[in-house]
Structure 1
Amino acid sequence: MKQLLPLLTFLALGSALSAQNLTFQPERPMPGETVQFRYNPAGTPLEGVETIYASALLFAGERPDAVDVELKAEGDAFVGEIPTGTDIKALFVKIENEAGDKTDSNDDQGYSTMFYRDGRSTPVQGAYGSLAQALNSFAYYAGVKRAPEKALEFYQMEFQQYPASRADKMFANDFAGLAAQNKDEAALRKAKDIAGGLAGNNKASEEEWNVAYYMFKRMKEEALANELAEKIKKKYPDGLVIRDELFTQFYEEKDLAQKEAIYQAYQEKYGKEANFQQSQTNFARVLANSFASKENWDKFNHYMSLIDDRQTKASILNNLAWSMAGEGLEG
């Protein structure tokens, strides 16, 4: 617990600073409650600014949702309300001016609250991990300064409080990547222990083995990753690891006919899955560009017809227009 004391000090300091300018009600909200906040810009970069905007970053699923928050003036303060769902873990409020070029970052710590279980004393599972995600991957949207070392500590608090979170694919992979990037030997040992425990459990689910595999990859433990990949492919021949290998082969293949064959193999294997359309769009985008560069317009039109996303189509056509104008086609 000793290594977590600096972070606890950081949390306490952040709460004290937040109390000066932004307060949440309830102070320790529970999932599903509407959270009200009161913001007073006195002494902040936004003091004297006539129009203030607020947005909230809500951590509930795999990726956070950003929502605009309507503010109402009450005396010298602004008040906003944020409805939450039962799966919410944490939220951040970002305060800025109309142009978006002036923000109150609360000394780079932002304004945030975790959500709590019954009794309002213990954060819900995923709360500390969500703070870590904000500090590492979503700092701009959360209105904070990126702080990978603090993110590592938050992940360790999450894993200590809720051991089951070690198998959370977002938390575990992010933790392993941060440990490697920061060359934090203690965190790397922890990450290797987590990955090794999952990899060595013959009763582990496919998802748990996948978590371990991608953790090894993030830590560049290629021998361990390859060893586990063989186990996964043998037990789950239609699983995520095989799928990712096909993606990698597709993007690395230089021969266009072979590239097309890999796509067709992927389609045959996974074409009936619910999320196939997104994968097909990724394949078709590359193939359409590639056939356009060869001036094979029949193939180009075929793969364009497989793309539902209008923005993707517009991007391809824009690239094609530049190519015809002599600027070169992006593949």
Structure 2
Amino acid sequence: MKYLRLPAVVALTALSLFSCSDEPKETPLTIGNLELSETKPSPGDSLKIAYTSKDSLAPEAFYVYTVASSAYPVDLNLVKDGERYTEAIKIPDSADGLIFNFKVGEKYEANDEKGYSVNLYDNEGELLPESESSVTYYKATRGADYGIKYDREDAAALLKENWSKHPDNLTYLYVISIGDKTFADSIYDAKLASLSAKEDLAEDDYSDLITIYNVKKDKAALDSITPIIVAKYPQGDQAQRAYYQKIYEAKSLEDKEAIAAEFEAAGGVASNYGNYMYSALAQAELAEGNIDKFKEAAEKMSAASNKASLYNNVAWNMAEKGENLELAEELSKTSLELVDEQKSDKPNYYTTKQFEQSLASTKAMYSDTYGFILFQQGKIKEAIAAQEVAVADRATADVTERYLQFLTADEQYDKVVEKATEYIKDGKGTAATKDYLKTAYAATDQEEDFESYLSGLEKIAHDKALAELKKEMLDEEAPSFSLKNLKGEEIALADLKGKTVVLDFWATWCGPCKISFPGMQKAVTKYADNDQVEFLFIDTWESTSGEAREKGVTDFITSNEYTFNVLMDTPKEEGSREYDVVSAYEVDGIPTKFVVGPDGKIKFKAVGFDGNTDGLVEELDMMIALAAGQ
């Protein structure tokens, strides 16, 4: 095909988003790789968008419309148009801000971390009163999930500046308090005085009181209003929260049953915290062997998702112990049926595609439980069928390992070779995976010797992982810190400059953190004699404080015989769940690991753990080598 060179003016027109016939209200707005049909869009407008991807992969995208401090995501169904991807949306009438999120491959492209955010205007072109605050709050609290970095001090300053536009939205004060705690406290005090002056409080008023008393850590005040809330609004969220807390704290099963009976006598019907209340009661009944009462309590849970989670967890625990396998099978099968029931009940915090993916991931996880139970009962072919659902959705190494175990037991050796080869190439090659491959390899007609074959697969996996890590390398200044370890020694990051430092943020309550620790111990042992590599395990976000916290951490490390150098992150204030160093490193979930190079800069950040202990050690080896410039 021939291309004609157009005059400059014509070329620019061709590159604009829309033709004259579209008659936009104003000139198009360009933000990074995104172009919008309106400079000052308004609620109710039809808005056309065009996104230019610099990657060959088609982007996945959704937009979020904000309504004050709430946010509602909606899928974007982009259509390729030359080098761009286009879509048209109608801005909801209730919206006061928009944020567009584009995922290219496995990462979000967020306009050099600034995000693609759009304020909304009224029909006169005036900025909507809450638009700036609404968009800012979203970027500051949720933006990190989508590649957006927003300084919380800056967010706090803007929200404070705009406070007069939304003086009743206490949610914003959470961010404002980061920059100006005195101002936030003055608002809380004023709100408290206003509520105290009212003769009759509505349920929302009590919700505000609970927020304020929690901020002030005034347990006595909280305790004083709880009976009033329960009496006035027995079916409300706050009453159900109170009943759940009472059941959680009750020591005996009889007390728990009495609390549930009191809730029902007051006309309470489970929703939100009521579901957690009945889940706690059901588990207490099961612990006493009361199967019928367990089922009775579970049936009072109104949310299929909560009930399915309860059944799956109980079934898995039974399967791990090899106990009550018939009941475990029944509960596990029911959990899968309950997942299917949820398909028409999308929560408003998911887009349609996100919800479908969430259900698929949940079904895969529950199918792993079901397959495990069936296998233990000798129902091997049924177990394989269930496990095929489990491995279909981004399966972790332990899930694929079980699949190979089932196939091996069924002597499907050709398939074991096929699947194990695939998993090892993808970096999911555990020791057991390699053992299953070795068994299947010997049972099939293969020309190459096994060790050479395995070595080739491992090299493919290594080279692939190394290439990916090189693309993910960072070069960001590591926030400095000085913390005490469990021996009372002061450890400063600055004193370790010139070494490669691995930071692991964790807590004693964090399941994935603890599951990853055997692998981390292998790594610590491997580098024990290397004076150029340091591992620091930063304990943070604990629910206890002071001596109780330190004792709990020490007991955990000692009882597991870990040789970790554990540092104790410092809370921002007495009893706070916000900690200094974890906040400085902008950690949103744990476990999170950072590898800091000898130059004092962050080279890698890794969140979570995929269950592959050997893979964890190998990944750390590569990160440490790359960070040191090897």
Q: Are positions 1:195 and 2:200 aligned together?
A: no
Structure 1 letter corresponding to 2:221 = N
Secondary structure at 1:39's aligned position in 2? strand
How many residue pairs get aligned? The number is 292
Tell me the distance in 2 between the aligned counterparts of 1:302 and 1:29: 53
1:90-129 residue pairs with structure 2 within 5 A? 90-97=97-104, 99=105, 101-124=106-129, 126-129=130-133
Displacement of 1:91 after TM fit?
A: 1.4
Displacement of 1:266 after TM fit?
A: 1.9
Aligned to 1:145: 149
Tell me: CA distance 1:284–1:205, structure 2 relative to 1, closer, same or farther (3 Å): closer
Displacement of 1:314 after TM fit?
A: 2.9
Tell me the distance in 2 between the aligned counterparts of 1:208 and 1:318: 35
Secondary structure at 1:49's aligned position in 2? coil
Tell me the distance in 1 between the aligned counterparts of 2:162 and 2:93: 19
Q: Is the 8 A contact 1:177 1:219 kept in 2?
A: no
Q: Deviations over 1:238-272 (max 9, x none)?
A: 14655543332222222221112212222222436
Tell me the distance in 2 between the aligned counterparts of 1:302 and 1:231: 31
Q: Are positions 1:22 and 2:5 aligned together?
A: no
Tell me: CA distance 1:220–1:187, structure 2 relative to 1, closer, same or farther (3 Å): same
Displacement of 1:297 after TM fit?
A: 0.8
Tell me: CA distance 1:23–1:144, structure 2 relative to 1, closer, same or farther (3 Å): same
Tell me the distance in 2 between the aligned counterparts of 1:258 and 1:109: 53
Tell me: CA distance 1:226–1:55, structure 2 relative to 1, closer, same or farther (3 Å): same
Tell me the distance in 1 between the aligned counterparts of 2:183 and 2:174: 10
Displacement of 1:143 after TM fit?
A: 4.4
Q: Are positions 1:175 and 2:172 aligned together?
A: yes
Aligned to 1:135: 139
Secondary structure at 2:31's aligned position in 1? helix
Tell me: CA distance 1:136–1:259, structure 2 relative to 1, closer, same or farther (3 Å): farther
Aligned to 1:81: 88
Secondary structure at 1:167's aligned position in 2? coil
Task: Please identify, of 312-321 and 294-303, the stretch whose mean Cα deviation from structure 2 is larger.
Answer: 312-321
Q: Are positions 1:206 and 2:202 aligned together?
A: yes
Tell me: CA distance 1:82–1:278, structure 2 relative to 1, closer, same or farther (3 Å): same
Q: Deviations over 1:50-101 (max 9, x none)?
A: 312221112238742222212233343322222222111211101121x3x1
Secondary structure at 1:199's aligned position in 2? helix
Structure 1 letter corresponding to 2:191 = A
Secondary structure at 1:249's aligned position in 2? helix
Identity %: 19
Tell me the distance in 2 between the aligned counterparts of 1:201 and 1:270: 30
1:1-331 residue pairs with structure 2 within 5 A? 19-41=31-53, 47-60=54-67, 63-97=70-104, 99=105, 101-124=106-129, 126-140=130-144, 143-145=147-149, 147-160=151-164, 162=165, 165-168=166-169, 172=170, 174-180=171-177, 182=178, 184-202=180-198, 205-207=201-203, 209-210=205-206, 212-222=208-218, 226=221, 230=224, 237-239=231-233, 242-271=239-268, 276-326=270-320
Displacement of 1:130 after TM fit?
A: 2.0
Tell me: CA distance 1:193–1:323, structure 2 relative to 1, closer, same or farther (3 Å): closer
Aligned to 2:358: none
Tell me the distance in 1 between the aligned counterparts of 2:302 and 2:109: 40
Tell me the distance in 1 between the aligned counterparts of 2:32 and 2:78: 18
Structure 1 letter corresponding to 2:96 = K
Q: Deviations over 1:199-252 (max 9, x none)?
A: 3442675256335413423432527x818x757966994146555433322222
Tell me the distance in 2 between the aligned counterparts of 1:301 and 1:234: 32
Displacement of 1:299 after TM fit?
A: 0.5
Tell me the distance in 2 between the aligned counterparts of 1:129 and 1:305: 42
Displacement of 1:113 after TM fit?
A: 1.0
Tell me: CA distance 1:209–1:318, structure 2 relative to 1, closer, same or farther (3 Å): closer
Aligned to 2:626: none
Structure 2 letter corresponding to 1:306 = K
Structure 2 letter corresponding to 1:166 = P
Displacement of 1:134 after TM fit?
A: 0.9
Tell me the distance in 2 between the aligned counterparts of 1:270 and 1:194: 34
Tell me: CA distance 1:19–1:232, structure 2 relative to 1, closer, same or farther (3 Å): same
Task: Please identify, of 30-39 and 317-326, the stretch whose mean Cα deviation from structure 2 is larger.
Answer: 317-326
Q: Is the 8 A contact 1:92 1:110 kept in 2?
A: yes
Tell me: CA distance 1:123–1:255, structure 2 relative to 1, closer, same or farther (3 Å): same
Q: Is the 8 A contact 1:18 1:111 kept in 2?
A: no
Tell me the distance in 1 between the aligned counterparts of 2:64 and 2:322: 39
Tell me: CA distance 1:265–1:311, structure 2 relative to 1, closer, same or farther (3 Å): same
Gaps of 5+ in 2: 1-28, 324-630
Structure 2 letter corresponding to 1:268 = A
Tell me: CA distance 1:311–1:199, structure 2 relative to 1, closer, same or farther (3 Å): closer
Structure 2 letter corresponding to 1:50 = L
Q: TM-score, normalised by structure 2?
A: 0.41
Q: Which has the larger radius of gyration?
A: 2
Q: Deviations over 1:174-195 (max 9, x none)?
A: 3333345x37334334433542
Tell me the distance in 2 between the aligned counterparts of 1:327 and 1:187: 54
C-alpha RMSD over aligned residues: 3.3
Displacement of 1:29 after TM fit?
A: 1.4
Tell me: CA distance 1:179–1:233, structure 2 relative to 1, closer, same or farther (3 Å): farther
More RCO (CA 8 Å, sep 6+): 1
Structure 2 letter corresponding to 1:92 = I
Tell me the distance in 1 between the aligned counterparts of 2:62 and 2:261: 43
Q: Is the 8 A contact 1:167 1:208 kept in 2?
A: no
Q: TM-score, normalised by structure 1?
A: 0.74
